[in-house]
Structure 1
Amino acid sequence: MPAEAHETLILPPPLRRVLPAARWERVNVGESGAGVWKSQKFVIKVQARGGVQFATSLQQERERLRWLAGRVPVPRVVGYEVEDGLEYLALTRVPGLDASHPDALFHPDRLVNLLARALRELHALPLRECPFNMSLSVTLPHVRERVAAGVVDESDFDGEREGRTAISVFNELARTRPEKEDLVVTHGDACLPNFIVNGEFIEGLIDVGRAGIADRHADLALTHRSLIRNLSPEAAEEFLDLYGREFVDPQKLAYYRLLDELF
């Protein structure tokens, strides 16, 4: 998808009819690849439909948001449209700050506790009710397609994998795949910018296109890494303590950090 394809926000007529006139501001935080705009009360996401250049489609995100609604705090879906090869997803805007914002990071103990509690609550949802399978049997074939298509950004690998190829990362994933998965309902991209904090609460989980049944370490690994980057290794370890060390496998943390390189 050309970068300019979603540089200007032009809403399809059905969305213009349901959304009030507003001043839309482009959002540059996050790594989803979609174009994102926000107004005072709403958020619009736009990306090309189809292909493997994006980790998930906006249609997948819409389906997950609808399922998660009423179970955990998420934005409400206002509308979804496809026009001229682009997907448009309109959502309510969650009040608060993303957890990577300096004002949220200013209270590290509170933030770490909120993150641990939010993931414990998400991971406690009944598996039998979740219709989305994001276990390794699904994600490994998907990332293999991304590697084969050449859409993985090798320049964005973590420092420990600098200079490696996507093929070598995938081969390591296949070779070291865990024998068992500790399956729960996961967020799928549990980095700090995808938690919205409002005072003493996590007000919402956003960017949930990869949500579904997977090993809990798919979330723990990314939150742990994000806390190291945004706060400190000590804060990241405190997060694991508060979540519950009895659930944590250091080898799986490393494995799911490796898997995330290919998204």
Structure 2
Amino acid sequence: MSLPPGVAADRVEEIDVGLSGARVARLYVAGRPTAVFKSADAGRRDLVAELVGTERRLRLLAGTRLPVPRLLDSGRWRGSYWLTMEHLPGRGAHEPRHDRAELIALLARALRDLHAVPAAGLPLPMGPDVLLEQARERVASGAVDRGWRAQGHTPRVPGGNGRRASGAAEVLAALADRLERIPVSGPVLLHGDYCLPNVLVDGEGGWSLIDLGRVGVGDRHLDLADMTGSMLSDLNPSFGPRDAEAFLDAYGRDLVDPGLLELYRVLDDFFWPE
């Protein structure tokens, strides 16, 4: 992988973890990881928008005490948009070698700490209306067609005599009908993609957050749905339903609406890349 002028590295280690579609690499100087490099072809407007959004959010989050990467540089080069961020220590929560009980407690504590950050005034709306509009755009563009992956866990069709929705457009319409009538829980500062690989654990009780392109202000159930969905995903086979339930217990059941949690899990399906 070639790097833009001014981005220094003795060694470049490409990273293939993640589903965003952007090119990602870890940069080393004097044998030590110092930065993370991300880039996307200018023709992929969705990926470029994600990187631009990440840059904006890192600048805003710099004013908080959250353990997130520091933005180092960004720009355009050879038909691509790129940025570099500070490399943070730790292993992804999805990796082995973590004590399970301690990890679950840490993930819940980290999310409570994130949700406790004052969100008033942050220009990052991520409420149901914003998410539903983004999902509609993805359906209209043909980016969502699972036939339906969440079959059996989808909302019932309004006026459909109990029939469950099928097909992306009908699922989304049923989901919108439900979500648009439910008050936002919070609102709180959200990670927006709070899944196992996006939480780094340092082994000494410390944690940090990465992949911050969807940080926003909205309903806490979005983050709760992301993490429990990550624990139930085939991508993380060492986790399962017991871990998801233990995570919700540790976060605080008094803050969790099971029905709303399931709706946000379905909504999350609209943002997975094909």
**TM-score strictly above 0.5:** yes
- Indicate the residue corresponding to 2:142 in structure 1: 150
- Give CA-to-partner distance per residue, 1:113-138, whole Å, 9 cap, x none: 11000000000011214221111222
Query: Could you tell me how far apart the structure 1 residues matched to 2:249 and 2:204 are?
Result: 20
- Give CA-to-partner distance per residue, 1:63-104, whole Å, 9 cap, x none: 111222342101111111123442201111111100000123
| Greater RCO structure (CA 8 Å; 6+ sep) | 1
The number of aligned residues is 249
Q: Shift in Å at residue 108 of structure 1?
A: 0.6
- Indicate the residue corresponding to 2:118 in structure 1: 126
- Equivalent of residue 210 in structure 2, options 184, 206, 209: 206
Q: Shift in Å at residue 148 of structure 1?
A: 0.8
- Indicate the residue corresponding to 2:253 in structure 1: 245
List runs of 5+ in structure 1 lacking aligned partners. Answer: 1-8
Whether the 8 Å contact between 2:148 and 2:167 is mirrored in structure 1 is: no
Structure 1 residues 86 and 161, CA gap change in structure 2 (3 angstroms): farther
Asked if 1:87 corresponds to 2:91, the answer is no
- Give CA-to-partner distance per residue, 1:185-217, whole Å, 9 cap, x none: 000000100000101334310111111101000
- Give CA-to-partner distance per residue, 1:171-193, whole Å, 9 cap, x none: 22222214211111000000100
- Indicate the residue corresponding to 2:60 in structure 1: 67
- Indicate the residue corresponding to 1:196 in structure 2: 200
TM-score by length of 2: 0.83
Structure 1 residues 187 and 156, CA gap change in structure 2 (3 angstroms): farther
Asked if 1:180 corresponds to 2:190, the answer is no
- Give CA-to-partner distance per residue, 1:37-62, whole Å, 9 cap, x none: 11222111112347664495201111
Query: Could you tell me how far apart the structure 2 residues matched to 1:247 and 1:56 are?
Result: 32
Q: What amino acid does structure 2 have at the position aligned with 1:20? A: A
- Indicate the residue corresponding to 1:110 in structure 2: 102
Moved more, 230-239 or 110-119: 230-239
Aligned residue for 2:19, secondary structure, equals coil
Asked if 1:257 corresponds to 2:249, the answer is no
Structure 1 residues 85 and 259, CA gap change in structure 2 (3 angstroms): farther
Moved more, 203-212 or 47-56: 47-56
Query: Could you tell me how far apart the structure 1 residues matched to 2:144 and 2:216 are?
Result: 22
Q: What amino acid does structure 2 have at the position aligned with 1:22? A: D
Aligned residue for 1:154, secondary structure, equals coil
Structure 1 residues 170 and 223, CA gap change in structure 2 (3 angstroms): same
Aligned residue for 1:120, secondary structure, equals helix
Query: Could you tell me how far apart the structure 1 residues matched to 2:52 and 2:225 are?
Result: 26
Whether the 8 Å contact between 1:181 and 1:214 is mirrored in structure 2 is: yes
Aligned residue for 2:183, secondary structure, equals coil
Query: Could you tell me how far apart the structure 2 residues matched to 1:223 and 1:145 are?
Result: 24
Structure 1 residues 20 and 85, CA gap change in structure 2 (3 angstroms): closer
- Indicate the residue corresponding to 2:25 in structure 1: 37
Whether the 8 Å contact between 1:56 and 1:209 is mirrored in structure 2 is: no
- Equivalent of residue 232 in structure 1, options 237, 240, 253: 240
List runs of 5+ in structure 2 lacking aligned partners. Answer: 28-32, 155-165
- Indicate the residue corresponding to 1:26 in structure 2: 14
Structure 1 residues 157 and 61, CA gap change in structure 2 (3 angstroms): farther
Whether the 8 Å contact between 2:73 and 2:85 is mirrored in structure 1 is: yes
Q: Shift in Å at residue 232 of structure 1?
A: 2.2
Whether the 8 Å contact between 1:44 and 1:88 is mirrored in structure 2 is: yes
Whether the 8 Å contact between 1:117 and 1:243 is mirrored in structure 2 is: yes
Whether the 8 Å contact between 1:50 and 1:57 is mirrored in structure 2 is: no
Whether the 8 Å contact between 1:53 and 1:146 is mirrored in structure 2 is: no
Name the % identity.
Answer: 42
Whether the 8 Å contact between 1:45 and 1:89 is mirrored in structure 2 is: yes
TM-score by length of 1: 0.86
